[in-house]
Amino acid sequence: MRFRFTDAAIDVGAARRELLDLGAGGYVSFEGWVRDQNEGQAVTRLEYEAFQELAVKEGGRIVAEALARFPVKHALCVHRVGELALGDLAVWVGVSSAHRGEAFEACRYIIDEVKHRVPIWKKEHYRSGDSGWVNCERCAAAPRAVAGGSSAPVHDHAHSHAHAHDRRDPD
């Protein structure tokens, strides 16, 4: 399976071995880690939740698209679900290829598409005691602009990174 979930630590060595190929001259990987802050708030831990039936289907399509689009040998994406601590590995993407250029491009394509398309949700827990589902909660509360009239971007769900507007105050 070219896209899968695990609720235990991702075994990078085992995942990397699945890409080995004597025709490959190199391998590119991306690791997404749990960071200690987001949008100015101190993050203490994360939860990932997935609609796994569809997520595995959509993730598999993304990896298949990368293999069709770029002349690479093998590609794989593994994503964590459940509770994660700071520094934990949240997502791993690996691509092996005859030449490095297409391996970088395919790896970038997979992680970007996964973040946009696969039904996975991330709940951040903050040092303030607050918590929130990234990309979901603040959008619903105030869909267009930051209170106080600062120059916040107009909200757009087509991007997947968390954004700074309308974060609830820590206290």
For tokens 């946009």, name the residue: 116
Between residues 17 and 116, which has the closer beta carbon with respect to another protein? 116
Between residues 22 and 85, which has the closer beta carbon with respect to another protein? 85
**In the complex, least distance from residue 28 CB atom to another protein, rounded to whole angstroms:** 16
Q: Which residues here bind another protein, judged by CB under 8 A?
A: 32, 48-51, 53-54, 57-58, 79, 90-91, 111, 114-123, 133-137, 139-141, 157, 160, 162
**In the complex, least distance from residue 134 CB atom to another protein, rounded to whole angstroms:** 4
**In the complex, least distance from residue 70 CB atom to another protein, rounded to whole angstroms:** 19
Return all residues near 6 (Cβ < 8 A) that are at least 6 apart: 78, 79, 80, 81
Q: Using only C-alpha atoms, what is the Rg of the chain?
A: 18
Between residues 111 and 146, which has the closer beta carbon with respect to another protein? 111
**In the complex, least distance from residue 6 CB atom to another protein, rounded to whole angstroms:** 14
> Taking Cα atoms as reference points, which of 158, 132, 156 lies closest to residue 144?
156
Pinpoint the alpha helices (H) of the chain: 12-17, 52-69, 100-117, 137-141
Between residues 16 and 61, which has the closer beta carbon with respect to another protein? 61
CA distances from 3 to 21, 73, 78 (A): 19, 16, 6
